Structure 1
Amino acid sequence: MPSLINYLFPRNPSFTFEALRAIGYASFGAADVAEVLSICSRIPSGDESGWLQEWRKAADRAVTNAQNSLAKGNTSGARDAFLRASNYYRTAEFYRRENPFDDDVSKELAELSSAMFFAGAELMPWTLEKVNIPYQTTTLPGIFIRPKAKSSRPAATVIVNGGYDSTKEEVGLSCAASMLELGFNVLCFDGPGQGDALRQQKLVFRYDWEKVVTPVIDYVITHPDVDQSKIVLYGMSMGGYLVARAAAFEHRAAAIVLNDGVYDFGSAFRRESPALAKLLIRYGWDTTVNRFLELKMRWNTGIKWAVLNGKWVFGVSSGVDMMRKTDEYTLEGIVENIKTPVLVLDAPDDHFLAGQPEELYKRLKCEKTFVQLTREEGASLHCHCGSFARLSQVICDYLMERLFQS
């Protein structure tokens, strides 16, 4: 059975993956499958301008439809249309990475994606609160979501930590609904290098993520609706490294979920020639490596995006500097310090971090569970994009058993 990564755009895995990522939110009302297929049918492979134009047109149309429904009192229709708009604006903006801080189009699309999420959230059957989490001399933006019917007792709470290009709105969309239906609270936040913390405060990634997660947990345990004995840390994509790193130092969580597990995040940037890349960088052949990356970027959409995004989120000026930064993002020498029970998820066709979940699972010394989702389920791509209903089922099964039946 062939991998889905070559399905929609056979010569452009990056376009295919991002389209499937957008489709996946159909499980939560934030996409229509046929609409996404129609959008993709009008985009030439590798045409980033066409990509932005078609996704933006779909988002604008969804906003108009949402406003029409709202005027007629159709709040559920308006909610889903606002969420589609949020998802489509985010997808439209995805490849705008030349200089996002000074790119008015990138800023506008990111702001529209966030605004449409909150417009839809106002119509959801949940209570949603924008929060500011104390962090060093500033704060991190977050969203605290709980069931609307307030419980008489504090509830289990899932802290959702995104990854290399996540926003708090997207990660909330990807998992909050299923968890809220089971009575969990959900806290989504933008850490350094992510979402509004990056765009508005220019906070860039840091490898020692415990310095981020510990203040987040400090904040969460003060909330009256939170059961301090049932806190879950959930890391998505690069968040699989970030949360695992934090868990080596921060032990107050009752469970860890890694979607997917990551032992060495820098491996994603050394896949094609790991030994050569390390050798050239170690001996200062920066110009050679940068020229090689620039050549690859001309012909490969995914590599171009990964390098440009990396320069932005790590706050560096060249591809080789970005690769040096990612070398710091490893669990070598500290993985043994993780004490919390961990669910490690694996996607066998992951085109970013293949093999990393198995590597992490093998090295963990704590109580651990390994689940590999499959091609047959349509869930074998990075973070199981396109199969979020099955993903949520697996995660919630684990959490219900771990927190309430042990």
Structure 2
Amino acid sequence: MSFKFPVGYHSFNDNNLLNFQLNRWYSTGFLGYDELKEVGERINSFESAKKVFKELGEEAINNNQWLVGATYLRGAEFFALGRDPEKNKLYDTCMKAYCKAYEDEPILYEKVPYDKGYLPIMRIMTDQPSKGWIVLHGGYDSFIQELYPFCKTFVNKGYDVIMFEGPGQGGALNEYDMVLTHEWEKPVSKILDHYAIDDVTLIGISLGGYLAARAAAFEKRIGRVVLYDIIYDFYNAFLCKFPKHLQILIRCFLPFKESYFWRKAEEKVADNLFLHWLILQGYHTFGVHSIWQYINSMKKYHTKKISKYIDQDVLLLAGEEDIYTSFFDKQKKALTHAKSVTGRIFTKNEYASHHCQIGNIGLALDYILDWIERKR
């Protein structure tokens, strides 16, 4: 199975969040332009998105289009928020479709014991003389199955790759109820122990840009670390989505768990699709039950205090239209003891200005590969 990363960021839907997600599945090459254009015209809410994606997923599977079906079901699961009773069933059906889609791929499915369950692994070995190990993980909401095209890019260039899901992600969350931890060095260390490997390149995608930085600060078997994208300060990046007066109120009421303010905030957040998804998905991922708990959890996810402990080669990626770009210089300056720091802000002209370079993933992966080659 070969993958191509199409170039371009398109207007599939008028809502920024829905449009970004549609572009996400377009940019990986899983779904085509015409079908996503049609989908974009049919959805205007989480409920309609879940319904449409579920219908299209089931239809694709009935036609033996396993990867298309898995992708649509992943979309349905993505839009099944909070305690939606369909979420677990959608996850199970989606995983079965991915397994069928990849059944002829040279993937070793493994599990590494961790805490009260296991960390799901997809390990792929190159058929060339190996250039070393790349360990790759996602962030807030990813499944490793949807990152397989990324993995194939590295394997085809001569690297052995381990993709894993840690607490709060994919199977670790949905099968073993392990919620997200900011102490990401713990699952990474377990994986390096299990495979007895060192001098690895660690790549963290999306919120993984914080997680990978945290792991590199405390796990020195990591030789190089790629923050794809940077997440210097998750809490303040979240806060900047609110008007100034609300930012002030949130900061003022944060010490008061039982304040009426939080009850009103729960009601108002539904007016903004991005914040509504982020928070309800956060309840699921962090294992919390209120917006007050969620905001206090997210405050742990910053690299301000731990960046000084990172002494490896570091690659920083960001897009000029991403909410995290404003922290790019702060993150770069905070890496006071890094062996080297390389960074790039991708532009709109490159079709790579959005989060994780959705619109031109191939450009970002080529840049990462070139950097690894030079630093290896």
Deviation of 1:97 after TM superposition, in Å, equals 1.4
Instruction: Map residues 317-356 of structure 1 onto 2, 5 A cutoff.
Output: 317-351=289-323, 353-356=324-327
Identity %: 26
Provide the secondary structure at the position in 1 that maps to 2:140: coil
State the one-letter code of the partner of 2:203. Answer: Y
Query: Are residues 1:296 and 2:269 paired?
Result: yes
Partner of 1:90: 74
State the one-letter code of the partner of 1:377. Answer: E
Consecutive aligned runs of 4 or more in structure 1 exceeding 4 Å deviation: none
State the one-letter code of the partner of 1:190. Answer: E
Deviation of 1:85 after TM superposition, in Å, equals 1.8
State the one-letter code of the partner of 2:166. Answer: G
| Unpaired segments ≥5 residues, structure 2 | 1-7
Deviation of 1:154 after TM superposition, in Å, equals 5.0
Distance across 1 between alignment mates of 2:211 and 2:262: 27
Query: Are residues 1:163 and 2:139 paired?
Result: yes
Distance across 1 between alignment mates of 2:308 and 2:192: 22
Provide the secondary structure at the position in 1 that maps to 2:28: helix
Distance across 2 between alignment mates of 1:342 and 1:16: 31
State the one-letter code of the partner of 1:52. Answer: K
Distance across 2 between alignment mates of 1:255 and 1:325: 28
State the one-letter code of the partner of 1:14. Answer: L
Deviation of 1:379 after TM superposition, in Å, equals 1.0
Deviation of 1:5 after TM superposition, in Å, equals 8.4
TM-score normalised by structure 2 residue count: 0.90
Query: Are residues 1:132 and 2:105 paired?
Result: no
Partner of 2:5: none
Instruction: Map residues 24-63 of structure 1 onto 2, 5 A cutoff.
Output: 24-26=27-29, 30-43=30-43, 45=44, 47-63=45-61
State the one-letter code of the partner of 2:138. Answer: G
Provide the secondary structure at the position in 1 that maps to 2:317: strand
Instruction: Map residues 179-328 of structure 1 onto 2, 5 A cutoff.
Output: 179-221=154-196, 228-229=198-199, 231-271=200-240, 272=242, 273=244, 274-284=247-257, 286-297=259-270, 299-328=271-300
Deviates more, 1:191-200 or 1:53-62: 53-62
CA contact (8 A) 1:238 1:262 kept: yes
CA contact (8 A) 1:260 1:357 kept: no
Instruction: Map residues 115-130 of structure 1 onto 2, 5 A cutoff.
Output: 115-124=96-105, 127-130=106-109
CA contact (8 A) 1:89 1:109 kept: yes
Partner of 2:4: none
Partner of 1:373: 346
CA contact (8 A) 1:346 1:358 kept: no
Deviation of 1:57 after TM superposition, in Å, equals 2.8
Partner of 2:120: 141
CA contact (8 A) 1:248 1:338 kept: yes
Q: Indicate which of 343, 364, 370 corresponds to 2:335.
A: 364
TM-score normalised by structure 1 residue count: 0.84
CA contact (8 A) 1:258 1:345 kept: yes
Deviation of 1:123 after TM superposition, in Å, equals 2.6
Distance across 2 between alignment mates of 1:13 and 1:5: 12
Query: Are residues 1:383 and 2:370 paired?
Result: no
Q: Aligned Cα RMSD in Å?
A: 2.0
State the one-letter code of the partner of 1:8. Answer: F
Deviation of 1:380 after TM superposition, in Å, equals 0.8
Deviation of 1:82 after TM superposition, in Å, equals 2.1
State the one-letter code of the partner of 1:50. Answer: S
State the one-letter code of the partner of 1:181. Answer: N
Deviation of 1:237 after TM superposition, in Å, equals 0.8
| Unpaired segments ≥5 residues, structure 1 | 68-80, 223-227
State the one-letter code of the partner of 2:22. Answer: A
- Deviation track 1:241-287 (CA, whole Å, cap 9, x = no partner) reads 01101111111122111110111122232112444322210244643
Deviation of 1:145 after TM superposition, in Å, equals 1.4
Q: Indicate which of 81, 86, 93 corresponds to 1:112.
A: 93
- Deviation track 1:201-236 (CA, whole Å, cap 9, x = no partner) reads 1111111111221112212326xxxxx43x110001
Distance across 1 between alignment mates of 2:123 and 2:259: 44
Partner of 1:9: 13
Provide the secondary structure at the position in 2 that maps to 1:233: strand
Distance across 2 between alignment mates of 1:207 and 1:327: 10
Distance across 1 between alignment mates of 2:71 and 2:372: 27
CA contact (8 A) 1:5 1:16 kept: no
Deviation of 1:137 after TM superposition, in Å, equals 4.8
